[in-house]
Amino acid sequence: MTLDLLPEGMPLQAALIALLRRRIFSGALGAGARLPSTRALAAELGVSRNTVLAAYDSLRAEGYLVARPGSGHRVAGDLPEPADLGAG
């Protein structure tokens, strides 16, 4: 995943959320797909781990992700309707 796909001027957390939503609904991240750990994704993107944690928490609250202790974050099997996939 790369941040150069993110819209300019958008806060990192919002841009990461939009990017992950697009990847989920495009099928690039299918139901049950495991997301990178927050530490790994933060290192890969060169952002704070808190940015990734907040993005994952937001997507989990919206029903796009599920989290299981010791198993990390996965794409939910029953996704909500895509209201707004973000700019880009």
Average the pLDDT over 46-62 and give the result: 95
pLDDT band of 81, cuts 50, 70, 90: confident
Residue 24 domain-assigned? yes
Enter the pTM of the model: 0.82
Residue 26 domain-assigned? yes
Average the pLDDT over 34-50 and give the result: 93
* pLDDT value at residue 79: 79
Q: Report helix, strand or coil for 48.
A: coil
Q: How many distinct structural domains can be found in the chain?
A: 1
Residue 66 domain-assigned? yes
Residue 67 domain-assigned? yes
Residue 83 domain-assigned? no
CATH of the domain at 33: 1.10.10.10
Residue 3 has φ and ψ, to the nearest 5°, of -75, -15
Amino acid code (one letter) for 17:
I
Reported as a single tens digit per residue, the pLDDT across 11-23 is 889 989 988 998 9
Residue 86 domain-assigned? no
Residue 26 token pair: 């495009």
Q: Which domain holds residue 51?
A: 9-74
